[in-house]
């Protein structure tokens, strides 16, 4: 039973929640010399529980809509496989949102109404990513959602929580993190393109077709390196160190471009998660 809940929670996706908060805290310290560990913990917990809640909703809703079938090339899904009932998975998702809301309330006490402007849409889109009247993942907006909420909002919001002000540097870093996070969604959607098309799940890969979707992936991988040139205004290390992630960018792009969609894409999905972590480590080292 516990294993099934862990399966539905998809722990391998957690770097997309952890890295933006981590780097947002480091950036705030770099800009001000100040760091509040208690606020950082609350921000991280809010982000992680929102991510896990989103994964639970995704597991249950995709099963309800018939998007997860026996032809699935990715990891087994808890609801579709029968490992957990849809009620249990929906219940777990709601619990995750309640926990995230508790941490959000603590941040609200520290930073006021701005936290509600960030938190309420984030909580709703846990469900609205795949559910509701206009599910983003089914309308080709998955990558944009990730860039906005797991990049710009997460990084800039974390810096705001730490400093009490918005900083343009957080927008730049948020774009870099968001694009590298979107790589995971793009590889996932490329892998499942044929299955999704047959189930009326119109992801970006379905809408654009395989060739253009692969070009989008290349943009998401290499644009952060170009955006990094802006950091030359502050310190050359901030532009150079994060390029370490490109050591994985090469095998990821070569593998996706040269292989037909299949289970081998799960390997590149794992490498994309590691790529995001390497970017985070390198940027952290550059700042200190």
pLDDT in tens, 242-254: 999 999 999 999 9
Q: Tell me which of 1.10.1450, 3.90.1520, 1.10.600, 3.30.460 is the CATH number of domain 2-287.
A: 1.10.600
Neighbours of 227 (CB within 10 A): 16
Closest CA to 242 of 202, 206, 277, 283: 283
Q: Indicate the pTM of the whole model.
A: 0.92
pLDDT, position 79: 79
Q: How far apart are CA 48 and CA 266, in angstroms?
A: 22
Query: Is the pLDDT score of 16 beyond 60?
Result: yes
3-class DSSP assignment, residue 137: helix
Quick check: helix, strand or coil at residue 162?
helix
Query: For the segment 53-96, what is each residue's pLDDT rounded down to a tens digit?
Result: 999 998 888 777 765 555 555 566 777 777 788 888 899 999 99
Q: Which of 217, 227, 90 lies closest to 146, judged by CA? A: 217
- How far is 71 from 69, CA to CA, in rounded Å? 5
What is the model's pLDDT at position 67?
A: 54
* Helix, coil or strand: residue 193: helix
Task: Report the share of the chain in percent with pLDDT over 90.
Answer: 62
Per-domain residue ranges for the chain? 2-287
In angstroms, the CA 231 to CA 169 distance is: 9
> What does each C-alpha distance from 214 to 123, 258, 259 come to in angstroms?
31, 11, 11
Q: In whole angstroms, give the CA distance from residue 286 to residue 26.
A: 10
Length of the chain, in residues? 288
Average pLDDT estimate for 156-179: 96
User: Does the pLDDT at position 262 exceed 90?
Assistant: no
């Amino acid at each position: 039973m516990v294993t099934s809940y862990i399966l539905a929670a998809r722990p391998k996706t957690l770097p997309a929640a952890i890295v933006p908060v981590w780097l947002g805290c480091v950036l705030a310290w770099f800009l001000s010399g100040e760091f509040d560990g208690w606020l950082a913990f609350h921000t991280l917990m809010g982000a992680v529980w929102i991510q896990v809640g989103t994964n639970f909703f995704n597991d249950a809703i995709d099963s309800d809509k018939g998007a997860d079938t026996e032809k699935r090339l990715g990891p087994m899904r808890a609801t579709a496989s029968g490992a957990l009932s849809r009620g249990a998975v929906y219940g777990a998702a709601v619990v995750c949102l309640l926990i995230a809301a508790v941490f959000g309330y603590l941040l609200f006490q520290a930073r006021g109404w701005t936290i509600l402007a960030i938190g309420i849409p984030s909580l709703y889109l846990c469900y609205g990513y795949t559910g509701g009247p206009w599910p983003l993942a089914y309308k080709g907006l998955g990558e944009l959602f990730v860039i906005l909420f797991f990049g710009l909002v997460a990084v800039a919001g974390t810096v705001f929580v730490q400093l009490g002000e918005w900083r343009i540097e957080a927008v730049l870093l948020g774009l870099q993190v968001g694009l590298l996070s979107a790589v995971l969604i793009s590889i996932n959607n490329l892998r499942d393109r044929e299955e999704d098309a047959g189930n009326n799940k119109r992801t970006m890969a379905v809408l654009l077709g395989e060739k253009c979707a692969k070009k989008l992936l290349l943009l998401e991988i290499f644009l952060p390196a170009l955006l990094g040139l802006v950091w030359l205004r502050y310190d050359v290390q901030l532009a150079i160190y994060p390029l370490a992630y490109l050591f994985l960018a090469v095998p990821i792009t070569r593998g996706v471009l040269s292989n037909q969609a299949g289970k081998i894409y799960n390997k590149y999905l794992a490498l994309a998660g590691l790529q995001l972590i390497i970017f985070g480590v390198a940027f952290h080292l550059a700042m200190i």
